[in-house]
Amino acid sequence: MDSSVYANKDFVAASKRWVNVYCSKDSGHGTEKVGDKEMCKLHPTITCEEHVACNASAGGKYFQGTFRAPATVWCKPDGTEIGKQQGSMSAKQVIEKMAEAEKVVGAGLDSDSYQYLLDKLAAGEKAATDGKTKEAVETYAGILKAMGKNPGAKAYTDKAQAALDRLTEEARKKIEDAQAAKDAKAFAKARELLKSVQVDFKGQPVAKDAEKALAEVAAAEKAAGGK
Amino acid sequence: MRRFLFTAAVLAAAALPALAGGPQCRWAHSWDEALAEAKARNVPIHVTFHKDG
């Protein structure tokens, strides 16, 4: 199965919809250098120590005593077995069995989307921490646009929405401060606050509110100048 | 028989780089990592064993 299944392009594409664990206590196939690490020669994204350790961790969970390898197990996210088969399987058979497991588990995230969400949420958090509000807003809004309709991404889009809501709350406070500045006839300060909201939150509803408030500042300034 | 074993070894050695250079499945680095990621993504786990237990 190493060459017939795991290198099969259809299998590789489909495997992004699951988490894959390779278990083998055999390390006789050797290693190869990848960067500065000695990786498994059969599967260079993991080390032989890792597939040996996975075999030790998972082996006893699904088979008691001797079993015939290769063997394949498909399970729920908590490791509960859904089904298993001893003996070789084709790429198509594995894909079919895993599709059955996906139906049992429900909507989930493929590995590319998962990585995208982790990277973007981290980038948004860093931008917000660094005071780069515009970048943070664009990042969170981008997550919602790209993943908002993906039911498997809900936990992550909820995080992005909550982070965007926190930033929006800060923008609303700026608008309140601008209104207070306008009332105190500190028009330049009011404009500065409102323009920063317009720029940082471009495309967001709060930017429209800032635009309306700016018009009010302009009218108030004109009225004050006219007195 | 020796010739057969030699041929098989040459073919197996030739297949390894091809396997490494083509599309690759992403394998979890540990069982615990697999469980954590499967839970975070809400996806099934595909476990494959490659040595007689």
- Express as a percent the part of chain A with pLDDT over 70: 98
pLDDT digits (tens, 9 = 90+) for A49-71: 999 999 999 988 998 888 888 99
pLDDT confidence of residue A108: 94
ipTM, 2 dp: 0.82
- The answer to whether the CB atoms of B44 and A19 lie below 8 A apart is yes
Which token pair is A17? 């919809």
Contacts (Cβ under 8 Å, ≥6 apart) of A92:
A10
pLDDT confidence of residue B3: 58
pLDDT confidence of residue A27: 87
Distance from CA of A122 to the nearest CA of B (A): 16
To which residue do tokens 């993906």 refer?
Answer: A150
Model confidence at A148: pLDDT above 50: yes
- Give the model's confidence band at B18: pLDDT under 50 very low, under 70 low, under 90 confident, else very high: very low
Q: Which of B16, B24, B35, B47 to substitute to test the interface with A, most A CBs within 10 Å?
A: B47
d(Cα B21, Cα A147) in Å, to the nearest integer?
A: 31
Interface check for B21 against chain A (CB to CB < 8 A): the answer is no
pLDDT confidence of residue B20: 47
d(Cα A187, Cα A223) in Å, to the nearest integer?
A: 12
Contacts (Cβ under 8 Å, ≥6 apart) of A84:
A62, A63, A71, A72, A73, A74
pLDDT confidence of residue B1: 52
Distance from CA of B39 to the nearest CA of A (A): 5
Residue A130: Cβ-neighbour burial (10 angstroms; 0-12, 13-18, 19+): exposed
Average pLDDT over residues B14-37: 77
pLDDT digits (tens, 9 = 90+) for A4-39: 788 889 999 999 999 999 999 988 889 999 999 999
- Give the model's confidence band at B14: pLDDT under 50 very low, under 70 low, under 90 confident, else very high: very low
| Residue with the larger pLDDT of the pair B2 and B39 | B39
Interface check for B25 against chain A (CB to CB < 8 A): the answer is yes
Residues A112/A29, Cβ–Cβ less than 8 Å: no
pLDDT confidence of residue B2: 58
- Give the model's confidence band at B12: pLDDT under 50 very low, under 70 low, under 90 confident, else very high: very low
d(Cα A65, Cα A34) in Å, to the nearest integer?
A: 35
Average pLDDT over residues A220-224: 93
pLDDT digits (tens, 9 = 90+) for A201-214: 999 999 999 999 99
Distance from CA of B4 to the nearest CA of A (A): 19
H or E element that contains A71? strand A71-75
Model confidence at B21: pLDDT above 80: no
- The answer to whether the CB atoms of B34 and A21 lie below 8 A apart is yes
A chain contacts of residue B31, beta-carbon cutoff 8 Å: 21, 53-54, 57-58
pLDDT digits (tens, 9 = 90+) for A91-141: 999 999 999 999 999 999 999 999 999 999 999 999 999 999 999 999 999
pLDDT digits (tens, 9 = 90+) for A154-168: 999 999 999 999 999
